[in-house]
Structure 1
Amino acid sequence: MAASFALLVVLVVAALTGEAAGQVVNITIGPSLGGGGVAGAQRSRRELVPAMFVFGDSLIDNGNNNDLPSLAKANYFPYGIDFNGGPTGRFSNGYTMVDEIAELLGLPLIPAYSEASREQVLHGANYASAAAGILDITGRNFVGRIPFNEQIRNFQNTLDQITGNLRADDMANSIARCIFFVGMGSNDYLNNYLMPNYNTRNQYNGQQFADLLVQQYTRQLTTLYNLGARKFVLAGIGLMGCIPSILAQSTNGRCSDEVNRLVQPFNANVKMMMSNLNTNLPGARIIYIDIAHMFEDLLVNARSYGFSVANRGCCGIGRNRGQITCLPFQTPCPNRDQYVFWDAFHPTEAVNILMGRKAFNGDTSVVYPMNIEQLANL
């Protein structure tokens, strides 16, 4: 027991105090979650950061909802049909965007918080939860979910696990070099503001709701900053009016301009928040991924990216395969790499990989004021 604890302390110091970051290291990877992982084998990689911690919703959830009493789950086939290891809880046929980003950072795939061992969290943890929102009440129609506030508390639990025998200044320096990826807000619209069983729309107009969300968002990110986070990657909301679920409600088959306009103030507020926090929080480096711009480019130029179907899901039922999302053991489309959308709400692995790469090394038209690679190398 004492030997294993001593090994854990050594691993913490090696992984989090900077000895490994930026160097080519050989490390034994624990049980892999699939994808590009190499279970139990030695592999060499250049780790640009010590770890990545992920917060968000179903776009990047990788299994935290599996054991919850929740209607928002994806731990069944055909989810994961193209993932090494099959269904894990990812709402995709394969990789999520943060899976691709983790590989580009030289990290192993980041484990779900609910499943991660003490050794695995040394490279980070994924706290994202399907149906979760910035507001605690968001997503209650799905019953179980882990709102952003609770995800932050789970991160604090992770810190408590790994900081026992490290000096405070060592831990502060380590956490300050890690990437904190946050993708929140979509459900606050889809599973709150736009839901008929919520009174939110009667209480706030679009701008007022965006203001409410970003006031809370600011407090939440400041809490993470106070826990030691310094390098933040914030993902904006995409063209929500163009997802199959919304298209299925259209009479003309076109994107909903009303829904796309509704979320614009949120993205504008997040950009302003980013600027304010970069100015007011000493040492903070916060960047913004313009998901809406990426999706607009993708939909307009779908064929040039190799996509032939941009208006319906690969797996689902009803109009645009968006009225009922992907059901257990449903047969999905065979040509998944040609589809923009996997199901009623989520992109395919092909899109996730494309967007992950753009966020990692793209120009300021899609990620600013710098990209993830530049942030990692600071």
Structure 2
Amino acid sequence: MGTNNVEGHIQNALFIISSGTNDLAANYFFSPVRRSQYSVAEYQNFMLQNAKRFVQGLLDLGARKIAIIGLPPIGCSPSLLALNYQHECIETYSIPAKQFNQILQEELKAMQNANPGVLLTYADMYEPLQGIIKNYKESGYVESSRGCCGTKIPETSYLCTHLTPVCPDRSKYIFWDAVHPTERVYQYLFTTLRKSSKGCCGT
């Protein structure tokens, strides 16, 4: 392809970054070792510095358009609800995610000011997803606290097999498994992102 062509592709490409959910939900809240090493605020800063280094690495490679997706309301995920025997969102888990999103936005603004020739866009997943979950019936869904693939045990990824019960209509569920939203929800989230993020994702 050649160095010049590669650089051109990098400069014209849109990089979409989605990370941090597992870091906070699994690696922190379910890890006594992590919790003994970091307070919530310290771990949020640890995640922020990792995200900052990753974004800076893309900028150093020549990236000019980067969209960073914030954390979802992780206390609403079927996995955490099942493990805590709950049916409604658990704020103890969701609030730290929302706090991280706030400091992430502040850091992105600082990086944007330091790099006027690039576009750094924050993509909010928290509010749109929480809105669907809290008003799921009005949004045309029949279930918000468990995944289409599952038995109330936290199935996800390879744990959803041909032996695992699956709902008859996944479009009526917010979550496909215990962690990941369904295609219908992702389509809604991306449409919301395009409308709210100026200069991003084809707008």
Q: TM-score, normalization: structure 1?
A: 0.50
Give runs of aligned pairs for residues 246-325 of structure 1, distance below 5 A: 246-317=80-151, 321-325=152-156
Of 161, 173, 176, the residue aligned with 1:328 is 161
Q: Provide the rounded CA distance (Å) in 2 between the counterparts of 1:249 and 1:226.
A: 42
Ranges in structure 2 where 5+ consecutive residues have no aligned partner: none
Question: Could you say which residue in structure 1 is the equivalent of 2:14?
Answer: 179
| Backbone CA RMSD of aligned residues | 1.9
- C-alpha deviation, 1:273, in angstroms: 1.5
The structure that has the greater radius of gyration is 1
SS of 1:305 mapped into structure 2? coil
Query: % of aligned pairs identical?
Result: 27
For 2:9 and 2:102, locate their aligned partners in 1 and report how far apart those are by CA, in whole Å. 32
Paired AA for residue 191 in structure 1: A
Partner amino acid, structure 1, of 2:154: Q
Q: 1:331 to 1:251 in 2, by over 3 A?
A: closer
Q: Match of 2:87, as an amino acid?
A: G
Higher helix residue share: 2
CA distance in 2, matches of 1:289, 1:322: 30
2:25–2:93: 8 Å Cα contact kept in structure 1?
no
Q: Tell me how many residue pairs correspond in the alignment.
A: 200
| 2:149–2:155 Cα contact (<8 Å) kept | no
Greater CA drift, 211-220 or 243-252: 243-252
Q: Secondary structure at the match of 2:188?
A: helix
Is the Cα contact below 8 Å between 2:150 and 2:165 reproduced in 1? no
1:295-325 alpha-carbon deviations (Å, 9 max, x no partner): 11111232332212111111112xxx24344
Residues 1:243 and 1:252: Cα distance change in structure 2 (over 3 Å) = closer
1:191 aligned onto 2:191 = no
User: How far did residue 243 of structure 1 move?
Assistant: 0.6
Q: Which has the higher contact order (CA 8 A, sep 6+)?
A: 2
Query: Aligned partners of 1:324, 1:233: CA distance in 2, in Å?
Result: 29
Shift of 1:282: 3.9
Tell me what 1:243 maps to.
Answer: 77
Q: Take 1:302 and 1:328, find their aligned partners in 2: how far apart are those partners?
A: 26
Query: 4+ residue stretches of structure 1 with deviation over 4 A?
Result: none
CA distance in 1 between counterparts of 2:153 and 2:76 reads 11
SS in 2 for 1:248: helix
Counterpart of 2:201 in structure 1 is 372
Instruction: Give the structure-2-normalised TM-score.
Output: 0.90
Letter in 1 for 2:179: F
Shift of residue 373 of structure 1?
Answer: 2.4
